[in-house]
Amino acid sequence: MEQEQTILVTVSGAVAHVCLNRPDKHNALNTLLIDALQSTFDRLGTAPEIRVIVLRGNGPSFCAGADLHYMREIAGYGKVENYQDALKLARLFDTIYHCPKPVVALLHGAVMGGANGLAAAADLVIAAQGARFAFSEVRLGITPATISPYVIRRCGEAVARELMLTGRPFDVSEALNYKLVNVVAADGKLEETLTTYLNHLLAGASGALAECKKLISDVTSHSGSTRELLSDTASRIAERRASEEGQEGIKAFFEKRKPNWFKQLKDEN
């Protein structure tokens, strides 16, 4: 186990577990934690041996949002310093969202404020029973600005208006209904549920997964003509068919065997 400031990074085979490690503060975000997450995702995102990243929290909560002592400190900064600090947090969410590796957020306990940005920037969100959520920024006189692009992509404008304007708490069943969570694990089955989804992800080719993430992002944000979109998507699938992974995957299918990238967690233990 490798410790990097306020996070713990554990690598198990091709899976990196990035664990927020301020349990006495419910993993509230401060400058050290934000910097540590940024440098870790920068490194793991380009590490060839890593195929999936799990973002999780140590202690009773995933993350209670921003550390209020940190918030009080930066409130006293000048406008330029405040902007630069906010830009660091915005960049972190963007880095997680555009990470070439699939990112799974594993939630439990409190998931407040900026924690929802970490989760919404992930590709897959698995939550434990009893997880509780809130966008409470307006009650502190601020707004959920840096997390808003990722949260609104997940839950839509109407839900965002209700949750962000009221700041009310909501439970895991509501979070699932609002699509802020993909899967709610049964009681005591959080790790088992995670393993199931990690095995699904590890069955995919790493290059194809990275390209698939980019495809989804590009198609979602596409503003050109339908003809341009047709040409672009046709070009992408043609490239993947001719790629080494594409050739291996098709060959393995006809030979009735697993492709050379296939590996499951049960084989690593």
- Give dist(CA 50, CA 16) in Å, integer: 7
Distance of CA 109 to the CA centre of its chain: 17
Contacts of 20 (CB under 8 A, 6+ apart): 6, 7, 27, 33, 37, 55, 56, 57, 58, 62, 63
Residue 191 is among the residues annotated as catalytic for this protein? no
Please name every residue paired with 106 in a beta bridge, in sequence order, or none if there are none: 126
Question: Rounded distance, CA 24 to CA 44, Å?
Answer: 26
Catalytic residue among 137, 211, 245, 248: 137
Q: H-type helices in 47-128, by residue range? A: 68-75, 79-97, 115-121
Q: Which amino acid is at 232?
A: D
In one-letter notation, the amino acid at residue 205 is: A
**Integer Cα distance of 203 and 34 in angstroms:** 31
Residue listed under structure tokens 């009221």 = 166
Alpha helices in the chain (DSSP H): 31-45, 68-75, 79-97, 115-121, 148-155, 157-166, 172-177, 190-202, 206-220, 226-242, 244-254, 265-268
Kindly list the catalytic residues. 137
